[in-house]
Chains A and B, each alone.
Chain A
Amino acid sequence: MNTDFSTQLEPERYELRERPTYHFGLPRRDFFKFLGGGIVVFCLRDRLLAGQEAGHFRRGPGESLPQDVDAWLHLSEKGEVTVCTGKVEVGQNIRTSLTQAVAEELSVAPGSIQLLMGDTDRVPFDMGTFGSRTTPTMTPQLRRAASAARDALIGLAAEAWKADPAKLIAANGAITDPESKRSVSYAELTKGRELVKAIPAVDPLIPATQWKVMGKPLAKITGRDIVTGRHRYPSDIKLPGMLYGKILRPPTFGATLTSLDAHEAEAIAGVTVVHDGNFVGVAAPNPRVAESALAALHASWQSTPQPSGDELFEYLKKNVEQGEDRDRHAVGSMEKGLADAALRLQQTYNVAYIAHAPLEPRAAVAEWKDGKVTAWTGTQRPFGVRGELAEAFHLPQDHVRVVMPDMGSGYGGKHTGEAAVEAARLAQAARHPVKLVWTREEEFTWAYFRPAGVIEVSAGVTSDGSITAWEYHNYNSGSAAIGPVYNIPNQVIEFHSVKSPLRQGSYRSLAAAANHFARESFMDELANLAKMDPLDFRLKNLTDARFRDALQAAAQKFGWGKAKPEPGHGYGIAGGFDKSGYVATCAEVTVDPASRQVRVIRVVTAFDCGAVVNPDELRNQIEGANNMGIGGALFEAIQFENGRILNPHFAQYRVPRFSDAPPIEVVLIDRKDVVPAGAGETPIVGIAPAIGNAIFAATGKRLRSLPMAPKGV
């Protein structure tokens, strides 16, 4: 076997001419020291391509790697593949599907691929893992990197064999020449090399119709570590000499500390008390001592009056922020649209604040060394948390490292780094690493919420069921998926920003769930007004082929229009489009005549997110989104009064449990010709309106406020 490939691979096809935007502190030599020799491929950011010219460029030893990259891939001398990306695994099983993407293009077993994710010292800058962006953006990048590495390997083999590279085949971690029957493993090809290649985002990829690894089920790649308890979540990290922290929380939001007596706490052996402005915390040798020390602090706070939950919806309407750029969209003429209509309707829908309640609360371990801080923490934005730490401690970004072990979920609720900043402040004072795990009550109280909102909709419909006018106002909940996919000639759509009484932020699908609840409930009301079947009414006003297909696929699987519901049961349908995915959900519900509790009997969801990357994980996401969505639909709501959360415990804040979870059938619409979209969010948007519409069908009662039936119908 000839493994003497003396000529170096052309290291890069493109030279970076611009100075990098982002700091990246891993010089070339360190990179190979860190991962060993081999081949490394960088994915350049798309926006750089315009400023580049083709050319050959070889780096001198020790020179920095290209800095404006999205991801990189390293193939070691042992044939192991390491892929570095700033995306993180939060339960959406993206580690698994990104692994499939690399395995597909590089022709290696998924088990030989290691993904290094969300470690700010080791991976390229990334905005964060949200907005269902990983599949549409990172998947193609990693595929390109893997494809470029494969081409490089083919090139090395072709050169050694003096063969035509076009005739060589990459498969199962080796390059083979079908003519001469020669074969060489990737490991042999990379031995003794330190080759660098940078690729633009234009390399051709294997079409979905020819996928061998993508498009097929692959079980969660870290599954065994999880079922054995070996996987270390952020809250499981332990460092030598580590102390345990606790934070003294104010009695109400925004309260000011007026006095603190810490003598008793400070007298406890091993306890450090930190008092810095409104921040008060303790660090202690174990969590029990930390709790005792916290209890021994005597503090007085000054609170200010704040809005309460019982006035929430009036408050939102009355407190629209003035002077903000208006988020308004209008087409046609509402006057004309309403004049053309035979039927008119106006309704208001409300949406409560809800909590993400990830089962792993916020947690962090922070350690200081030589003026630099490292935080292991659960977040969807490791680089965002790095920025928070840098700002909080007045440090340059390269003095902060954030490491994100695959965490116990987020659902949009862990974009921020509170626990990391708090742990770092305690660790700084205690001169030891400190671990801080928020209690459930803290997570319910001091995280942030899915925004509450008021949505007003009015419309006009002709006697034969064509919508002629549509006016839609969303107060506070957000503008994601605010516009209808239906064909309506005259529209006014406006989002009104409000100063929220509670801290609020992202939640799975953002406002798409709220906007779909309002829109799809209202569509049902319009159908009823026009005396039309809800599915027929939607289809009459809809030309978008993919949304039509989704509605019809769900309806067919469900038996819409064929089977008649049992007495006391009702059917509902709803759907929509967001983040490049189409969803349609049908639900059957019944209301218990005695308890008035709603029971979801069964659910069918059809989903179209383009070419399916991993059908089984996709089904899992869709099932999970429906089950999670049942909570927001029926009973989840944060209750608050004058700066306090009144239900910060699972005993008071009801989340869906086994008895709430209906049988869910999933219909995947697999479009091989469409670039895959993300799927972690959009499947949640159909369930609430489908349930609401089904409750109406069962009882004649229209419920217009989320949650619809916390105490029954």
Chain B
Amino acid sequence: MSNVTELLINGTKYSVDVDPSASLLSVLRDDLDLVGSKYGCGEGQCGACTVLLGGAPRRSCITPVGDVARKPITTIEGLERAGKLHAVQQAFLDEDVMQCGYCTSGMIMTSVGLLKVHPNPSEQEIAHYLEGHICRCGTYPRIVAAVRRAAKSMQEVRS
């Protein structure tokens, strides 16, 4: 059986020669050098590895690469467009969220996914949606504030 998997990441096609059971996170980081998605636990418990699969948040560390062939994957590297940050990225800067920043990529990806299906979440809904993510530095209130800010700025753009 062929090990070649075709991946569609941030609009670019990649062919990788790996076992289909390899984790998407490992392929992103170790084979494609897309290291913005982080290893935090390898068990789907911390959210640092989160990417978007067809627009929905997905834990890349427990996703076999064979399952996501040819499906559109977005990683943190793919959010910025022509030098302009995604509203969620910008909001993380504006709220000065980060301490070590290691959880940030995963937090941003899940928040982008949330705002796609729920453009105006309350603080409680944001916290609930992000519950599977760990920020060991404890910047939780700032993350919630950043997602609220992003939701507002995206609504302003739409209206």
* B11 CB to nearest A CB, Å: 16
Q: Please give me the residue from chain B that is nearest to A629 by CB atom.
A: B138
The 0/1 profile, CB within 8 Å of B marked 1, for residues 227-250 of chain A is 111111101101000001000000
Cβ B102 vs Cβ A359 within 8 A: yes
Partner of A228, one of B42, B89, B138: B89
Interface SS majority for chain A = loop
B37 neighbours in A (Cβ, 8 Å): 229
Chain B residues numbered 107-159 whose CB sits less than 8 Å from any CB in chain A: 108, 126-128, 130-144
Partner of A659, one of B80, B127, B135: B127
Q: Please give me the residue from chain A that is nearest to B127 by CB atom.
A: A658
CA distance A437 to B46 in the complex (A): 16
One of A34-42, A547-555, A566-574, A620-628 contacting the partner: A620-628
Cβ A650 vs Cβ B46 within 8 A: yes
**Contact of A409 with B98 at beta-carbon distance under 8 Å, contacts A229-B77, A437-B39, A624-B138 already known:** no
Partner of B93, one of A224, A623, A624, A661: A224
- Interface flag for B9 (CB, 8 Å): no
Q: Please give me the residue from chain A that is nearest to B48 by CB atom.
A: A359
- Interface flag for A709 (CB, 8 Å): no
Query: Size of chain B's interface in residues, with CB distance under 8 A?
Result: 60
- Interface flag for B100 (CB, 8 Å): yes
- Interface flag for A159 (CB, 8 Å): no
Chain A residues numbered 406-450 whose CB sits less than 8 Å from any CB in chain B: 406-409, 411, 437, 439-440
- Interface flag for A656 (CB, 8 Å): yes
Cβ A359 vs Cβ B103 within 8 A: yes
Cβ B43 vs Cβ A440 within 8 A: yes
* A657 CB to nearest B CB, Å: 6
B102 neighbours in A (Cβ, 8 Å): 91, 233, 358-360, 407-409
Cβ B92 vs Cβ A223 within 8 A: yes
CA distance A278 to B111 in the complex (A): 45
A288 neighbours in B (Cβ, 8 Å): 18-19, 22, 26
* B142 CB to nearest A CB, Å: 7
Partner of B45, one of A360, A616, A651: A651
CA distance A156 to B140 in the complex (A): 50
- Interface flag for B60 (CB, 8 Å): no
Cβ B45 vs Cβ A650 within 8 A: yes
Q: Which one of B35, B39, B40, B141 has the greatest number of beta carbons of chain A within 10 Å?
A: B39
Cβ A286 vs Cβ B30 within 8 A: yes
A659 neighbours in B (Cβ, 8 Å): 127-128, 131
A624 neighbours in B (Cβ, 8 Å): 99, 137-139
- Interface flag for B4 (CB, 8 Å): no
Cβ B19 vs Cβ A229 within 8 A: no
Q: Please give me the residue from chain A that is nearest to B85 by CB atom.
A: A227
CA distance A92 to B8 in the complex (A): 37
Query: Size of chain A's interface in residues, with CB distance under 8 A?
Result: 59
* B50 CB to nearest A CB, Å: 12
Cβ B43 vs Cβ A650 within 8 A: yes
CA distance A21 to B55 in the complex (A): 58
Q: Which one of A217, A288, A621, A663 has the greatest number of beta carbons of chain B within 10 Å?
A: A288
**Contact of A229 with B101 at beta-carbon distance under 8 Å, contacts A223-B93, A661-B138 already known:** no
B85 neighbours in A (Cβ, 8 Å): 224, 227-228
* A630 CB to nearest B CB, Å: 8
Chain A residues numbered 187-238 whose CB sits less than 8 Å from any CB in chain B: 217, 219-220, 222-224, 226-233, 235-236, 238
Q: Please give me the residue from chain B that is nearest to A286 by CB atom.
A: B30
**Contact of A408 with B100 at beta-carbon distance under 8 Å, contacts A627-B140, A628-B138 already known:** yes
Chain B residues numbered 52-90 whose CB sits less than 8 Å from any CB in chain A: 75-77, 79-80, 85, 89-90
CA distance A632 to B4 in the complex (A): 46
CA distance A228 to B104 in the complex (A): 9
CA distance A708 to B35 in the complex (A): 39
Cβ A230 vs Cβ B36 within 8 A: yes
Closest 8 CB pairs of A and B: A229-B36, A627-B138, A91-B100, A408-B102, A229-B76, A624-B138, A661-B140, A650-B45
10 residue pairs from A and B, CB less than 8 Å apart: A227-B85, A228-B36, A228-B80, A229-B77, A359-B100, A361-B39, A440-B46, A624-B138, A658-B127, A658-B144
Chain A positions within 8 Å of B, measured between CB atoms, are 90-93, 217, 219-220, 222-224, 226-233, 235-236, 238, 244, 286-288, 357-361, 406-409, 411, 437, 439-440, 616-617, 620-621, 623-628, 649-651, 655-659, 661, 663-664
